Each structure stands twice: as C-alpha cells, then as structure tokens.
C-alpha cells in the first residue's frame, strides 16, 4: 500500500512539472502558437518585442470572407438549427450584453465558456474532447441537451427556407446546403470572434506606455509565481489539459465545489480524473463566472483559488490585487470596439 501511494505521489509530482516544461519549450522555441488551419490567414505583427515572452499577442487582423461571416452569424442566432426551433447557438454562448445565456446548472453544472478567440484554442470543451471546430459542431448539433438534431434533418429544414437557399447558392454554388457548407459558414463566423488590441497586446508589441507600473508588476508576478506555466501562448491558455488540484484536493476541501470527474468521464482512465482544459484568460475580466463549474464570480477569489490548488503557494492580498490588475489588461476589442 505504501509503495503504491509513493508511486502515485511521484506520478502527480511529475505531472505538476509538465506546465513548466511546456513553458520552457515555448520560451526556447520562441514560437507563436495558434489553432487556425493555416498560418497564411494571419497578418503577422510588425514588431518582435514579444519574442522572448511566454505570451504572444493576437494577430491584429485575420482575413476572412465577410459574406460567409454574415451567413455564419445568421445561423449562429437562428433557433431553427435546433430540433425544437427554440434554441440557437447564442442561447448558450452570448456575444453581447443583450444576449441571454442559459445558466451553467442547466448543462450538468458545467460553466459555459466564452467563444471569443475560440479558434486559437488547441482543446475545446472542458474535458478537451475535441480539437477541431468542425467536431465541436457535431457534438453541439447531436447533444440532447443542446440542439438535439442531426445533419440530415437540419439540411432538409434549411432547404425549405428560401433566404438560406439563396445565400448558400451564392456562396457555395457547386454544393449548396450541405453539412460541410453549413460548418464552413459557422466556423468562419467563429473565427471572426477574435478580440485583438488588448492593452497587453500593445505592450507586447513594444508600447511600454500601454500598461501602468502596477499592471507591469502584475504581469511579472504572473510569470514568477507560475501562472504562466499553464496560461501561455497566443490565447493565454486553451492549449493544455491539467488536473484541478495539483497541490491540494480542490474537491475535498471546497464545500461549494461541484463534483466533476472532468476528462475521466471521457476516457475512463484514472490519470484523467479531475483533469480539465486550461481556459483562455483573454477577456477574463468580462467573462465571469469562473472555473469549470462556474462557482466563483470574483476574479480575485479565483486567483487565490488557483494559487492554493494549482501552485501550492498562497498569495498575499497585495499580490492578488497586482495580478488582477494585469488580468484586466487582457480585455480586447471586438469589431473595433472594447468588450
């Protein structure tokens, strides 16, 4: 029993080193990562001030077909994509203050993540079950607690709507309304949901005045204490899977924590119990609630929780405040306007 426990402790210790090793690899390679299908769609920044940083700025522009973006947006807001004609994609993923999201409790206590910058994530969903937006659309369409439909039914439904038949014929003249053309329009719209020009992005590109001294200190602390071990890259997260409770038992110690086995539900492997996708921190000041179960609304409390259960080093109130100031600099712009 003692040998087995020792082996288990060694395993989790090695697992806890994984974020640091990944960060070191990113730093040494000095590469910018993203999950778009082709790099030629990104307009590279003109300066390389961020080249030695573990975080990178979002591209200032992405080249997309504007007509396909509009069609994808129409589909995104259309409840007719669901079996009941009552639920649209936006029903769970609000993009504006006027959109009303479903509560996380309606989806098995899972916190519904923001779709902003989703195309820069490596892993999608909290359990990382998909890595491609097209596969994620399959899951959304088929899930009984979401759209609860199938492609054959959806295609037949859209083919009966003259506004859609005309648009698809214009944009996809050789195929019209098909599974692939519907996916292409929706994915093109999802790729348009990027939020560049955060003050932190401007700082990374060489504008030293974009951040206050307190915000700069918060960024240095964010790196020094180890937050950057998991939250790195162009999306400041979204590219790793990690155990919730690396240094302490989050689920045992927090009475308000909602039990969720995370990726274990998908794989059945004990090593995946309580493993979740590391979320992106972009726009984090605007995207409460936090954590996989949406149990925390306060950003400072979230930072304290992460320090306790992921880093094993409680932070002072001053340190937490400093990091929170930095996190506020990650709010970007959507369609030229601040979120």
Whether 319 is in a domain gets the answer yes
Please give the sequence-ordered ranges of beta strands (E in DSSP) within 24-174, or none if there are none. Answer: none
Residue 198 class from Cβ within 10 Å (0-12 exposed, 13-18 middle, 19+ buried)? Answer: buried
| Residue among 1, 18, 58, 2 nearest 243 (CA) | 18
Residues 70 and 189: their CA atoms lie apart, in Å, by 7
Q: Is 142 part of any known ligand binding site?
A: no
Predicted TM-score (pTM) of the model is: 0.83
Whether 78 is in a domain gets the answer yes
Residues 334 and 200 reside in one and the same domain: yes
Residues 243 and 165 reside in one and the same domain: no
Residues 168 and 250 reside in one and the same domain: no
Residues 13 and 112 reside in one and the same domain: no
8 A C-beta contact, residue 20 and residue 229: yes
Contacts of 301 (CB under 8 A, 6+ apart): none
Q: Is 92 part of any known ligand binding site?
A: yes
Instruction: List the structure tokens of 183.
Output: 């996916």
Q: Model confidence over 188-202: pLDDT tens digits?
A: 999 999 999 999 999
CA-only gyration radius of the chain, Å: 21
Q: How confident is the model at residue 49 (pLDDT cuts 50, 70, 90)?
A: low
Residues 89 and 15 reside in one and the same domain: no
Q: Model confidence over 240-252: pLDDT tens digits?
A: 999 999 999 998 8
Distances (CA, A) of 143 to 148, 167, 242, 333: 5, 27, 25, 32
> Which of 165, 191, 217 is a domain's end point?
191
Residues 270 and 164: their CA atoms lie apart, in Å, by 47
Q: Which residues pair with 233 in a beta bridge?
A: 55
Instruction: List the structure tokens of 253.
Output: 């110690």
Output DSSP code: residue 229.
Answer: G
> Which of 191, 219, 244 is a domain's end point?
191
Give the chain's domain count.
Answer: 2
Residues 250 and 288 reside in one and the same domain: yes
Residue 74, domain CATH: 1.10.760.10
Question: Which residue in this structure is represented by tokens 């090593």?
Answer: 271
Q: Is 93 part of any known ligand binding site?
A: yes
Residues 162 and 72 reside in one and the same domain: yes
Residues 209 and 327 reside in one and the same domain: yes
Contacts of 131 (CB under 8 A, 6+ apart): 35, 122, 123, 124
Residues 232 and 266 reside in one and the same domain: yes
Whether 54 is in a domain gets the answer no
Whether 270 is in a domain gets the answer yes
pLDDT of residue 52: 80
Whether 56 is in a domain gets the answer no
Residues 166 and 241 reside in one and the same domain: no
**What is the separation of C-alpha 229 from the centre of its chain, rounded to a whole number of angstroms?**
16
**What is the separation of C-alpha 310 from the centre of its chain, rounded to a whole number of angstroms?**
19
Long-range contacts of 203-206 (CB under 8 A, 24+ apart): 203/329, 204/49, 204/50, 204/53, 204/55, 204/56, 204/57, 205/45, 205/46, 205/47, 205/49, 205/50, 205/57, 206/47, 206/49
Q: Model confidence over 8-36: pLDDT tens digits?
A: 455 444 545 555 454 444 443 333 333 33
Q: Model confidence over 66-82: pLDDT tens digits?
A: 999 999 999 999 999 99
Residues 199 and 333 reside in one and the same domain: yes
Whether 50 is in a domain gets the answer no
Whether 51 is in a domain gets the answer no
Range of the domain at 236: 2-38+195-338
Q: Is 292 part of any known ligand binding site?
A: no
> Which of 137, 160, 191 is a domain's end point?
191
Q: Is 274 part of any known ligand binding site?
A: no
8 A C-beta contact, residue 244 and residue 276: yes
Lowest-pLDDT range of 30-44, 133-147, 300-314, 325-339 = 30-44
Instruction: List the structure tokens of 88.
Output: 């649209």
Residues 150 and 202 reside in one and the same domain: no
Whether 283 is in a domain gets the answer yes
**What is the separation of C-alpha 214 from the centre of its chain, rounded to a whole number of angstroms?**
26
């Amino acid at each position: 029993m003692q040998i087995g426990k020792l082996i288990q402790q060694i395993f989790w210790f090695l697992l806890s080193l994984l974020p640091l090793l990944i960060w070191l690899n990113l730093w040494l390679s000095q590469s910018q990562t993203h999950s778009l299908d082709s790099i030629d769609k990104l307009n590279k920044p003109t300066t390389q001030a961020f080249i030695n940083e573990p975080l990178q700025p979002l591209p200032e522009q992405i080249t997309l077909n504007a007509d396909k973006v509009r069609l994808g947006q129409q589909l995104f807001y259309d409840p007719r994509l669901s079996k009941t004609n009552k639920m649209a994609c936006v029903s769970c993923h609000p993009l504006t203050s006027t959109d009303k999201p479903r509560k996380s409790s309606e989806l098995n206590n899972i916190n519904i993540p923001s779709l902003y910058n989703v195309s820069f994530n490596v892993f999608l969903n909290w359990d990382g079950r998909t890595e491609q937006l097209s596969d994620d659309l399959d899951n959304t369409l088929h899930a009984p607690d979401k759209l609860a439909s199938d492609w054959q039914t959806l295609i037949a439904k859209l083919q009966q709507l003259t506004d859609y038949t005309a648009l698809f014929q214009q944009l996809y003249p050789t195929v019209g309304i098909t599974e692939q053309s519907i996916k292409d329009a929706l994915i093109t719209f999802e790729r348009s949901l990027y939020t560049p020009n955060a003050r932190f992005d401007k700082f990374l590109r060489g504008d030293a005045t974009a951040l206050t001294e307190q915000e700069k200190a918060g960024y240095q602390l964010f790196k020094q204490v180890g937050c950057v071990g998991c939250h790195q890259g162009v999306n400041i997260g979204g590219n790793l899977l990690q155990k919730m409770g690396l240094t302490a038992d989050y689920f045992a110690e927090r009475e308000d924590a909602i039990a969720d086995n995370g990726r274990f539900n998908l794989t059945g492997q004990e090593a995946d119990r309580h493993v979740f996708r590391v979320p992106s921190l972009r726009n984090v000041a605007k995207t409460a609630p936090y954590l996989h179960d949406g149990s925390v609304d306060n950003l400072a409390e979230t930072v304290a929780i992460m320090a306790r259960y992921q880093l094993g080093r409680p932070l002072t109130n001053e340190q937490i405040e400093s990091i929170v100031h930095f996190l506020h600099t990650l709010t970007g712009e959507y369609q030229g306007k601040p979120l």
